[in-house]
């Protein structure tokens, strides 16, 4: 009898095997001639070489499916074990607007034309400026695009950053060390990631530095190769900060810069680096610009009306 060992490194065994190992029991049912022993992240197999090869192939399909869609039900398992697997994945991704599948298989979509334009632009360019008012999904869509690139191994890490500018409040008086002071400020980025990556995997990514969240000042001196980098709240960058950030771009990197020129928290005499960049970079090849507006607002219906009302005041 031949022995083979499979070690799970990319997924949590308890998530893959299901509640009370229900998914593992289905596997055993389909491979009755194999002795299958699962302990922790390791699976020991005993049986004939041909059956071991087939099991390893099918098990790899299950892992790939779970990694891609963050869910694995009995129906999907049985179809992956009895077909070539591609049809199952196609059915799950049949909407052209789907960016990726998040926690528990939640579908993360581009829901408006401008959000779809963000996705399309990043397929064609390495730098994207996504500009628009609050609630238009700029940050959420940008994070989804980045997570998709990481899942598909287009990049090796995600770096999320914001300028640490106080929006009428004083961060210095918040309790705790620097990370504890900044965590609430970075909360929108954490919230988006938690929708898209299971908790334990996300924590592992943070620990290994595969996903990094840091204030913009921490970007100085870095060269970001093989990275997907998002600069959020870019309206609060200065000229020097924007220049510093854009020149961090290394080989095989992708950058998305998001911001709302209508919510600048810089001192009155300070010119926004975002506004300067939108003017000075508009003719540079490889950089695209998407302008979102009140039609893209995905929050409470009143947010759209609020955006319109303030827009009319600011333009008068």
List, for residues 119-131, the tens digit of each pLDDT value. Answer: 999 999 999 999 9
pLDDT tier at 200, thresholds 50, 70, 90: confident
Q: 158 by DSSP, 3-state: which?
A: strand
Cα 220 to Cα 225: distance, rounded to the nearest angstrom? 14
Residues 281 and 153 in one domain: yes
Contacts of 43 (CB under 8 A, 6+ apart): 5, 6, 7, 8, 36, 37, 59
Q: How does the average pLDDT of the chain come out, rounded?
A: 85
Is residue 314 included in any domain, yes or no? no
Dihedral sign (CA 205, 207, 210, 216): positive
Give the Cβ contact number of residue 225 at 10 Å: 14
For 238, which DSSP code?
-
Cα 105 to Cα 108: distance, rounded to the nearest angstrom? 9
Is residue 294 included in any domain, yes or no? no
Q: What angle do CA 142, 148, 151 make, to 5 degrees?
A: 145
Residues 65 and 146 in one domain: no
Q: Considering its fold, how many domains does the chain have in total?
A: 2
pLDDT tier at 106, thresholds 50, 70, 90: confident
- Between 175 and 299, the higher pLDDT residue: 299
Residues 71 and 146 in one domain: no
Residues 117 and 52 in one domain: no
Q: How far is CA 249 from the centre of its chain?
A: 19
Residues 166 and 247 in one domain: yes
Residues 59 and 140 in one domain: no
**For the domain that residue 73 is a member of, what is the CATH number?**
3.30.1370.10
Q: For the chain, first and last CA: distance in Å? A: 82
Residues 74 and 112 in one domain: no
- Between 152 and 155, the higher pLDDT residue: 155
Residues 85 and 112 in one domain: no
- Where does residue 303 rank: exposed (0-12), middle (13-18), buried (19+ CB within 10 A)? middle
Residues 79 and 156 in one domain: no
Is residue 152 included in any domain, yes or no? yes
Residues 85 and 226 in one domain: no
Dihedral sign (CA 40, 104, 154, 203): negative
Q: How far is CA 115 from the centre of its chain?
A: 15
Residue closest to 214 by CA, chosen among 200, 201, 227, 226: 227
Q: How far is CA 148 from the centre of its chain?
A: 6
Is residue 303 included in any domain, yes or no? no
Tokens of residue 33, six digits? 């001639």
pLDDT of 6-36, one tens digit each?
A: 998 878 888 888 888 888 898 898 899 999 9
* 226 and 253 Cβ atoms separated by less than 8 Å: yes
Is residue 129 included in any domain, yes or no? no
Q: What stretches of 1-59 adopt beta strand conformation (E)?
A: 2-7, 35-39, 42-47
Query: Among 92, 115, 148, where does a domain finish?
Result: 92
Is residue 309 included in any domain, yes or no? no
Residues 142 and 53 in one domain: no
**For the domain that residue 166 is a member of, what is the CATH number?**
3.40.50.300
Tokens of residue 232, six digits? 């959020």
Note the pTM of the prediction, 2 decimals: 0.72
Is residue 302 included in any domain, yes or no? no
Residues 114 and 196 in one domain: yes
pLDDT of 254-305, one tens digit each?
A: 999 999 998 888 888 889 999 999 999 989 999 999 999 888 876 666 776 7
Is residue 296 included in any domain, yes or no? no
**Enclosing domain of residue 25:** 2-92
- pLDDT score at 301: 67
CA torsion angle for 67, 71, 73, 77 (degrees, to 10)? Answer: -10
* 102 and 108 Cβ atoms separated by less than 8 Å: yes
């Amino acid at each position: 009898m031949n022995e083979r060992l499979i070690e799970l490194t990319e997924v949590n065994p308890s998530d893959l095997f299901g509640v009370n190992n229900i998914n593992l029991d289905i596997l055993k049912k389909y491979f009755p001639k194999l002795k299958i022993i699962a302990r922790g992240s390791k699976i020991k197999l005993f049986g004939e070489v041909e059956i071991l090869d087939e099991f390893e192939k099918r098990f790899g399909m299950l892992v790939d499916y779970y990694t891609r869609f963050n869910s694995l039900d009995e129906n999907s398992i049985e179809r992956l074990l009895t077909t070539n697997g591609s049809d199952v994945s196609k059915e799950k991704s049949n909407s052209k607007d789907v960016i990726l599948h998040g926690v528990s298989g939640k579908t993360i979509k581009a829901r408006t034309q401008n959000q779809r334009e963000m996705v399309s632009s990043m397929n064609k360019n390495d730098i994207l400026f996504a500009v628009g008012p609050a609630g238009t999904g700029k940050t959420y869509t940008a994070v989804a695009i980045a997570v998709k690139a990481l899942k598909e191994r287009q990049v090796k890490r995600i770096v999320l950053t914001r300028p640490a500018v106080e929006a009428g409040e004083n961060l210095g008086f918040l309790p705790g060390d620097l990370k504890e002071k900044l965590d609430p400020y970075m909360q929108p980025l954490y919230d988006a990631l938690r929708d898209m990556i299971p908790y334990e995997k996300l924590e592992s990514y943070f620990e290994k530095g595969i996903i990094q969240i840091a204030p913009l000042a921490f970007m100085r001196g870095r060269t970001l190769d093989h990275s997907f980098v998002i600069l959020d709240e870019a309206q609060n960058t200065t000229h020097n900060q924007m220049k510093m950030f854009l020149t961090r771009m290394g080989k095989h990197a992708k950058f998305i810069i998001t911001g709302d020129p209508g919510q600048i928290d810089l001192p009155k005499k300070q010119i926004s680096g975002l506004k300067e960049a939108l003017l000075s970079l508009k003719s540079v090849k490889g950089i695209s610009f998407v302008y979102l507006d009140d039609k893209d607002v995905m929050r409470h219906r009143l947010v759209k009306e609020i955006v319109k009302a303030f827009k009319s005041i600011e333009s008068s």
